[in-house]
Amino acid sequence: MNYFQLFGLPETFELDLQRLSERYRELQRTFHPDKFAASSALERRLAMQRAAEINQAFHTLKDPVERATYLLSLRGVDNRNTAAKVDQAFLMEQMELRERLAELRSQPDPSTALEELIADITRRTNTVLQELTRQLEESSERSHTAAQESVAKLMFLRKITREANEIYDELLED
Amino acid sequence: MALLQISEPGQSPVPHQRRLAAGIDLGTTNSLIATVRSGSADTLPDEQGRHLLPSVVHFRKEGLPLVGEAAAAYLSTDPQNTIVSVKRLMGRGKDEFSGRGFRLPYHLVETNSAVPRIRTVAGEFSAVEISAEILRALRRRAEKTLDGRLDGVVITVPAYFDDAQRQATRDAARLAGLNVLRLLNEPTAAAVAYGLEHGAEGVYAVYDLGGGTFDISILRLSKGVFEVMATAGDTALGGDDMDHLVAEWIMQQAGIDPEAGHHQLRRLMAVARQAKERLTGADTALVKVELENGTQWEGELTRSELDRLLEPLIKKTLGPCRRALRDAGVSKEEIREVVMVGGSTRVPLVQERVGEFFGCTPLTSVDPDKVVAIGAALQADVLVGNKPDEEMLLLDVVPLSLGLETMGGLVEKVIPRNTPIPVARAQEFTTYKDGQTAMAIHVVQGERELVGDCRSLGRFQLRGIPPMVAGAARIRVTFQVDADGLLSVSAQEQTTGVQASIQVKPSYGLTDSEIEQMLKDSLAHAREDVAVRNLREQQVEADRVLEALEAAMAADGNTLLDDEERVAIDEAMRLLRVARQGDDAQAIKRALEELERRTQTFAARRMDASIKRALEGHSVDELKV
Query: What are the Cα distances from residue B259, in Å, to B15, B105, B264, B611, B622?
Result: 65, 12, 10, 65, 72
User: Distance between CA atoms of B570 and B179, rounded to whole angstroms?
Assistant: 28
Kindly write down the DSSP assignment for every residue of B175-202, as one continuous string. HTT--EEEEEEHHHHHHHHTTTTTT--E
Residue numbers in A near B394 (CB within 8 A): 34
Q: CA geometry: angle at B10 spanning B9 and B13, to 5°?
A: 80
> Count of residues for chain B?
625
Q: CA geometry: angle at B254 spanning B252 and B259, to 5°?
A: 60
Query: What are the Cα distances from residue A76, in Å, to A70, A145, A148?
Result: 10, 12, 12
SS3 call for B344: helix
Q: Which of B164, B147, B166, B148 is nearest to B156 (CA)?
A: B166
Q: Do B393 and A28 touch (CB under 8 A)?
A: yes
User: Distance between CA atoms of B337 and B196, rounded to whole angstroms?
Assistant: 10
- Amino acid identity of residue A128, one-letter, is V
* Residue ranges in chain A assigned as alpha helix (H): 3-6, 17-31, 41-62, 64-74, 88-102, 110-138, 141-173
- pLDDT per residue as tens digits for the range A124-163: 999 999 999 999 999 888 888 889 889 989 989 998 998 8
Q: Which of B612, B339, B97 is nearest to A6 (CA)?
A: B612
Residue of A nearest to B482 (CA): A48
b (16+ CB within 10 A) / e for B321-335:
bbbbbbbbebeeeeb
| Model pLDDT, residue B97 | 60
- Compare CB distances from B615 to A8, A31, A49 and report the shortest one's residue: A8
| Model pLDDT, residue B32 | 97
Q: In the beta sheet, which residues pair with residue B31?
A: B26, B53
Q: What predicted TM-score, i.e. pTM, was given to this entire model? A: 0.81
Probe site for chain A from B545, B569, B606 (most A CB atoms < 10 A): B545
B587-595: Cβ within 8 A, 24+ apart: B588/B535, B588/B538, B588/B539, B588/B541, B588/B542, B589/B538, B591/B542, B592/B538, B592/B541, B592/B542, B592/B545, B595/B545, B595/B549, B595/B569
Q: Which of B124, B93, B128, B91 is nearest to B109 (CA)?
A: B124
* Average pLDDT, consecutive stretches of 10 residues, N- to C-terminus, chain B (625 residues): 40 61 94 92 93 95 91 88 89 67 65 79 91 96 93 92 90 92 93 73 92 90 89 86 92 81 79 92 88 84 94 92 91 92 92 94 87 95 84 88 84 89 87 82 85 83 80 83 85 75 62 68 58 78 85 86 89 91 88 88 82 60 39
| Model pLDDT, residue B4 | 40
* Residue ranges in B233-302 assigned as alpha helix (H): 239-254, 262-278
pLDDT tier, A41 (very low <50, low <70, confident <90, very high otherwise): confident
| Model pLDDT, residue A51 | 92
| Model pLDDT, residue B541 | 83
Q: Do A43 and B326 touch (CB under 8 A)?
A: no
Residue of B nearest to A25 (CA): B225
Q: Do A43 and B548 touch (CB under 8 A)?
A: yes
Q: Do B383 and A40 touch (CB under 8 A)?
A: no
Residue B517 backbone class (left: φ over 0; alpha: ψ -120 to 50; beta: rest): alpha
Strand duo B439-445 + B455-463: pairing: antiparallel
- Compare CB distances from B420 to A37, A47, A55 and report the shortest one's residue: A55
Q: Which of B510, B406, B504 is nearest to B454 (CA)?
A: B406
Residue numbers in A near B619 (CB within 8 A): 8
Residue numbers in B near A32 (CB within 8 A): 393, 395, 483
**Given CB atoms, is A166 within the 8 Å cutoff of chain B?**
no
Kindly give, in sequence order, each residue whose CB lies less than 8 Å from that of residue B370, ignoring residues fewer than 6 positions away: B32, B34, B42, B43, B51
- Amino acid identity of residue B350, one-letter, is V
Query: Chain A closest CA to B545's CA: distance in Å?
Result: 5
SS3 call for B3: coil
Higher per-residue pLDDT: A166 or B229:
B229
- Which amino acids of B are annotated catalytic? 25, 87, 186, 208
Query: What are the Cα distances from residue A78, in Å, to A61, B10, B217, B426?
Result: 18, 47, 38, 19
Mean pLDDT in residue range A85-103:
86
Q: Do B607 and A55 touch (CB under 8 A)?
A: no
User: Distance between CA atoms of B27 and B369, rounded to whole angstroms?
Assistant: 10
Q: What are residue B333's phi and psi, to 5 degrees?
A: -65, -25
